[in-house]
Structure 1
Amino acid sequence: MSATSPKPFNLKDYPVVIGIDFGTTYSGCSYAFVQNDEVIDIVRWPKQHSNVYPKTPTLNFYQGNSKQMTQWGNAARLEMQRPIARNSVLLKQYKLYLDENIAKDLPPLPNGLTIVDAIADYLNAFHGHVVSELKKGFAKNYGQHQFRYCLTVPAMWSDRAKAAMREAAIKAGLIDASDHRDRLMLISEPEAAALYCEKKCEQFNLRHGDRFMICDAGGGTVDLIVFEIEEGRFGRKLKECTKGHGQSCGSVFLDRRMRKLLKKKFKEYLSTIPASAFETMMDTFVDLIKPQFDGVDDQFIQLPAAMNLDSLNNPAIGLEDGTLVVSAQELKTEVFEPVIRDVLALIEEQLVKAQTMQAIFLVGGFGSSNYLFERVQQEFGARVGLVAVPPRGELAVVRGAVYFGLNPRIVTTRIPRYWYGIDTTTTFEEGVDPPSYRIVRADGSVRCDNRFSVYVKRGVPLDIDNCVSKDFFAYYPHHTTCTLYAADTEDQPRYTLSPGVRKVANFTIPMPALTGVREGEKVDLSIKMYFGEVELRVEAVIKGKTYGTTCTFDAADS
């Protein structure tokens, strides 16, 4: 977070809103002109002929051990298939590095790349293509300096992960570091999907006070969140009513299980099957079997010619005449059910929290899986009036991002996923506080160090404008720093050193030049923190003027 630029943000300067859904496996983009609200999808992507799927793969190609990305998207996939690409790097599913629960188990990125580099490389090329597509359409009358952006992020990401995404977008050249921060907004993926479903739900006849759940099932993650519709004087607004929950149990986990199943079947032949032939079989699963599998029909995979098998029949593994038959039962138990059971458990948990619900919308690429729909319907159809997949569910997130960019105040209430607080000292309680935290002040008072002073309570709804203001003082002309802590524990933590509490960031409040104030003089200041938005925002008020703060995320703590 950089210091807020003094010039006010004027929406009229940015007549074009671009929504970008940077996904684990695929990324998409839509845009709109502010004056007419019609959302247009980018459907043409380099080296992609079929317009069946309106998104492009999230892939970066690096030649050898270079840090220069030379291809991206589908071109990266094609490049990797060329014989000369043997020692090159195809970077995929790297978005998972920003999920702190998974990142600790992942190997370091190759070629000395950081996660911000990888995302910035991709966004830079992706954005270049988007701009050229816009220039072919009605946007040719506008310059890139008139675009503003809305990027989507998983609901379960930490503040540090969101800050890394903003840093990557700046590094990719979408906006400048000196631009007003609102030129680039972040929105959580299920929230974006909710805006899209709410727009499309005239046909589902949801009314004031009704609650609906978004189950956004993508490649890497499944995110859930429950919203309540509020009809007010100014139209419909959405209120988040459960602390959303997400887990990395998206459809790439189906791919991993399928890969295991194929390896098990062909285990005697593995040494002779070329990797490319194996990938061809996996492509059949990903493109054809996964989306339309319904749990009833057996599935067939035509073996690629390059398999090098001595015989085209092997009844033991279901190989008949060069076609591998995978039974519906086998796909259910080995591939689909373990992942889908995770998703059903997440839905159950949100349903219990929300108590009543009128609809469940399945969105995202995995959300359009027939089998997932069947299982959710079977499990929850009787308890929830409607289980539905909105039209173009795989674009729900990116179209919703554009709606949010057009009207950022449409989501009025959010529920924080963490306790937030700062470190303070308070009166020492004998028998409760550990003796090692005990401090005796010069005036004889006994204080307890490392106490967690709560700014925001986890799970308690916050309005979008919610601002926590605390008063401090500093000695002129010194800058003040303040460390923010967060915890996702069930109970409010007592100490900043309690288990589950981690340092989120250090905020530096720069001391402005003040006339008539002597060195060493006390200056009163209040620190205002806004927690109701998608990203944390911290400002300082000194002598009636508001200043932005700089925030550093301490990577060592992740």
Structure 2
Amino acid sequence: MNWKSDIRVVVAIDFGTTYSGFAYANKLNPEVITNDTWPEVAGVLKTNTVLKYDQNLKSVEAWGLPALAQKASRRAERNSTSKPVELFKLHLGNMPEKEKPALPKGLEYKRAITDYLTEIETVATRWPNVNFMEQVLLIMTVPAEFSEQANASIRECAYKAGLISTQYADTLQLTTEPEAAAIYCMRTLKEHMITEVGSSFMIVDCGGGTVDLTTRELLENNRLGEITERSGDFCGGTYVDKEFIKFLRRKVGDSAVNLLYENHYGQLQYMVQEFCRRVKLPFTGNRKDFKTYELDIEEVCPVLKQYVTGTSKVKLEKDDWIIDLEYEDVKNMFDPVVGKIIRLINGQLNASPGTCAAMFLVGGFSESKYLQTRIKQEFGDQVKNINVPKQPIAAIVRGALDYGLNMKTIKTRVLKWTYGIELSPQWKKGDPPERKISHGRINVFSKLVSRGTIVDVDQGFGKDLFPSIEDQSAASMKIYKTPALDGKYPDEPGMEKLGELILDFPDSHLGFNRKLEFTLSFGQMEIRAFCKNQNGKSVDAVFNLEF
């Protein structure tokens, strides 16, 4: 494609649930530069995915770490004009509405995403040669579980944030988080004696909100193929933090935590950050290594004292406002989350057709020694190589950058859905009578490709179309997906309408003597549409997603 030859700089953005980062490189001199300078923080490769608006939600007052946690002080009280907005990326995920984080009234999640990406854009353009409107290829990572609609929303927000010049620009390409991590880890395969073509390895991307998995096969010429369906769930590191909040509720009462949340959210988050730094990160699961942690409410969050009442207050006063976190307390915070991750890994191993030569743990939560230990205990006999690469928190953004520098690295992907179109042939004897529609026709699902199919990234699936009326000048088709391997009708359980494919039908003077060859490509993160007439000339084809 012509646009590829114009690219001079590649920028990769890892927009995460709890932390985000970006990296860039010049295409001709691909030295990877990972940003480590953020508002009020330097020397770290990611910053918090958090925004703080003014009281009227008109502008962003702060973002990153300064928007989140505040130690108790008069200055913090004066500056606490509104609550931080966090975890807004989860609104893109396929999770129950009641489990999605609440947003301030009047703030739509797409605006929050757009505003955050705008702040990223402001920092990124300070680097030499980074101008998103000129000769820049942008790679953005998405969770493995994201739907086509979620990916389209990311594209829309990137456009509104000024990261691409048009909403459907080819200069924005998506890759999944575990796929980017696989590319990063591919550098280290030789260190682990994995050089044979056909060897497979698993990536377990343990982020803050989600854990995503993919199993990849090493192909010739240092390319990668996907050999199982990508999988994932909402069981990242922040779910341990949530278990800590549940523990706190049992000690001080629901009412006290609710009032702290409502009136002093920054101090609540400061207490959570202290828990992460002093308890969560050092926890190894080895009882001998553990020392009881004394959570000193008067030191860490003194404002909480005024909200504690009843028997909880009496006990805490007796204990000098110190809450002990014992070994079993902390282990119980980890185990529900770690258990989910182990089940995900087990599912990936069971789905893999051969032996898994290595497993790489990446993402911020992968630095947990307890998580590492549990995974090695569970799967050490099946997978001899279980490793955490250097700087696992940056594995995704650096792998995404590598992908942008050489987009041929990924050869194949495994489809998670069965895709097809709606056709309306003549109703015939044996078809259900109740499905007969006007003009004696019936709506049916016509499969293009099945779930589980290994496809090349540019591989197309399509059909030949002929005009149904003599002077037809356009055609439209509804596109559906289903988790089943096939389907009969577009309205049966499990079917989901993805959108509509709009095709120009030129040369109407030729009447019925015309043919269109349309193709849909499902091998990339976004569905692409192509069409040509019987002379091989390209015809306009637009795929509009259903929202």
TM-score, structure 2 normalization? 0.88
Q: Which of the numbers 13, 16, 29 marks the counterpart of 1:23?
A: 16
Match of 2:186 in 1: 198
Q: How far is the alpha carbon of 1:330 from its aligned partner? A: 1.6
Q: How far is the alpha carbon of 1:66 from its aligned partner? A: 2.5
Match of 2:337 in 1: 339
Q: How does 1:150-161 map to 2 (within 5 A)?
A: 150-161=139-150
Given the superposition, is the C-alpha separation of residues 309 and 124 from structure 1 closer, same or farther in structure 2, using an over 3 Å criterion? closer
Match of 1:283 in 2: 273
Q: Is the contact between residue 65 and residue 88 of structure 1 (CA under 8 Å) also seen in structure 2?
A: no
Instruction: Give the secondary-structure state (helix, strand or coil) at the position aligned to 2:95.
Output: helix
Distance 2:217 2:304 in 1: 57
Match of 1:257 in 2: 243
Q: Does 1:243 align with 2:229?
A: yes
Instruction: Give the secondary-structure state (helix, strand or coil) at the position aligned to 1:38.
Output: coil
Q: Is the contact between residue 249 and residue 339 of structure 1 (CA under 8 Å) also seen in structure 2?
A: yes
Q: How far is the alpha carbon of 1:413 from its aligned partner? A: 1.0
Q: Does 1:69 align with 2:60?
A: yes
Distance 1:241 1:535 in 2: 19
Q: Is the contact between residue 224 and residue 246 of structure 1 (CA under 8 Å) also seen in structure 2?
A: yes
Given the superposition, is the C-alpha separation of residues 440 and 536 from structure 1 closer, same or farther in structure 2, using an over 3 Å criterion? closer
Q: Does 1:479 align with 2:474?
A: yes
Q: Does 1:417 align with 2:416?
A: yes
Q: Which of the numbers 512, 532, 538 marks the counterpart of 2:529?
A: 538
Given the superposition, is the C-alpha separation of residues 243 and 143 from structure 1 closer, same or farther in structure 2, using an over 3 Å criterion? closer
Given the superposition, is the C-alpha separation of residues 216 and 144 from structure 1 closer, same or farther in structure 2, using an over 3 Å criterion? same
Given the superposition, is the C-alpha separation of residues 317 and 190 from structure 1 closer, same or farther in structure 2, using an over 3 Å criterion? farther
Q: How far is the alpha carbon of 1:493 from its aligned partner? A: 2.3
Q: What is the CA deviation profile of residues 44-78 of structure 1, one whole-angstrom value per residue up to 9, with x for unaligned ones?
A: 112214x2x31011112221233433432234336
Distance 1:79 1:325 in 2: 23
Opposite residue 178 of structure 2, the aligned amino acid is P
Q: Is the contact between residue 16 and residue 34 of structure 1 (CA under 8 Å) also seen in structure 2?
A: yes
Distance 2:140 2:167 in 1: 18
Q: Is the contact between residue 67 and residue 113 of structure 1 (CA under 8 Å) also seen in structure 2?
A: no
Opposite residue 96 of structure 1, the aligned amino acid is L
Quick check: 524-533 or 77-86, which moved more?
A: 77-86
Distance 1:345 1:268 in 2: 31
Match of 1:3 in 2: none
Q: What is the CA deviation profile of residues 269-292 of structure 1, one whole-angstrom value per residue up to 9, with x for unaligned ones?
A: 928867455433211122332222
Distance 1:525 1:258 in 2: 59
Q: How far is the alpha carbon of 1:315 from its aligned partner? A: 11
Q: Is the contact between residue 90 and residue 101 of structure 2 (CA under 8 Å) also seen in structure 1?
A: no
Q: Does 1:217 align with 2:206?
A: yes
Q: What is the CA deviation profile of residues 159-208 of structure 1, one whole-angstrom value per residue up to 9, with x for unaligned ones?
A: 111111111111111111177x3311100110000000011222112122
Unaligned runs of 5+ residues in structure 1 are 1-7
Q: How far is the alpha carbon of 1:544 from its aligned partner? A: 2.4
Q: How far is the alpha carbon of 1:545 from its aligned partner? A: 2.2
Distance 1:269 1:101 in 2: 27
Q: Which of the numbers 510, 515, 527 marks the counterpart of 1:524?
A: 515
Q: Which of the numbers 101, 114, 120 marks the counterpart of 1:120?
A: 114
Match of 1:303 in 2: 297
Match of 2:435 in 1: 437
Q: What is the CA deviation profile of residues 454-511 of structure 1, one whole-angstrom value per residue up to 9, with x for unaligned ones?
A: 111101211122111211134656332221111123x422221111111111222245
Given the superposition, is the C-alpha separation of residues 378 and 114 from structure 1 closer, same or farther in structure 2, using an over 3 Å criterion? same
Q: Does 1:37 align with 2:30?
A: yes
Opposite residue 254 of structure 1, the aligned amino acid is V
Q: Is the contact between residue 299 and residue 325 of structure 1 (CA under 8 Å) also seen in structure 2?
A: yes
Q: Which of the numbers 479, 482, 492 marks the counterpart of 2:486?
A: 492
Q: What is the CA deviation profile of residues 200-225 of structure 1, one whole-angstrom value per residue up to 9, with x for unaligned ones?
A: 22211212221111000101111111
Q: How far is the alpha carbon of 1:422 from its aligned partner? A: 0.8
Give the % identical residues.
33
Quick check: 464-473 or 377-386, which moved more?
A: 464-473
Q: Is the contact between residue 319 and residue 325 of structure 1 (CA under 8 Å) also seen in structure 2?
A: no
Q: Does 1:462 align with 2:463?
A: no
Q: Which of the numbers 186, 191, 196 marks the counterpart of 2:174?
A: 186
Q: Is the contact between residue 132 and residue 164 of structure 2 (CA under 8 Å) also seen in structure 1?
A: no
Q: How far is the alpha carbon of 1:427 from its aligned partner? A: 6.9
Given the superposition, is the C-alpha separation of residues 70 and 482 from structure 1 closer, same or farther in structure 2, using an over 3 Å criterion? farther
Instruction: Give the secondary-structure state (helix, strand or coil) at the position aligned to 1:165.
Output: helix
Opposite residue 166 of structure 1, the aligned amino acid is R
Match of 2:282 in 1: 292
Considering only aligned residues, what root-mean-square deviation do their CA atoms show, in Å? 3.0
Opposite residue 282 of structure 1, the aligned amino acid is V
Given the superposition, is the C-alpha separation of residues 44 and 527 from structure 1 closer, same or farther in structure 2, using an over 3 Å criterion? same
Quick check: 94-103 or 270-279, which moved more?
A: 270-279
Match of 1:13 in 2: 6
Match of 1:399 in 2: 398
Q: Is the contact between residue 132 and residue 163 of structure 2 (CA under 8 Å) also seen in structure 1?
A: no
Distance 1:382 1:242 in 2: 21
Distance 1:109 1:244 in 2: 29
Instruction: Give the secondary-structure state (helix, strand or coil) at the position aligned to 1:285.
Output: helix
Distance 1:519 1:548 in 2: 18
Q: Is the contact between residue 19 and residue 31 of structure 1 (CA under 8 Å) also seen in structure 2?
A: yes
Instruction: Give the secondary-structure state (helix, strand or coil) at the position aligned to 2:394.
Output: helix
Q: Is the contact between residue 47 and residue 64 of structure 2 (CA under 8 Å) also seen in structure 1?
A: yes
Distance 1:322 1:89 in 2: 26
Q: How far is the alpha carbon of 1:111 from its aligned partner? A: 4.3
Opposite residue 153 of structure 1, the aligned amino acid is V
Given the superposition, is the C-alpha separation of residues 268 and 124 from structure 1 closer, same or farther in structure 2, using an over 3 Å criterion? closer
Instruction: Give the secondary-structure state (helix, strand or coil) at the position aligned to 1:182.
Output: coil
Q: Does 1:58 align with 2:49?
A: yes
Instruction: Give the secondary-structure state (helix, strand or coil) at the position aligned to 2:381.
Output: coil
TM-score, structure 1 normalization? 0.86
Quick check: 321-330 or 56-65, which moved more?
A: 321-330
Instruction: Give the secondary-structure state (helix, strand or coil) at the position aligned to 2:188.
Output: helix
Q: Which of the numbers 249, 256, 267 marks the counterpart of 1:270?
A: 256
Opposite residue 463 of structure 2, the aligned amino acid is K
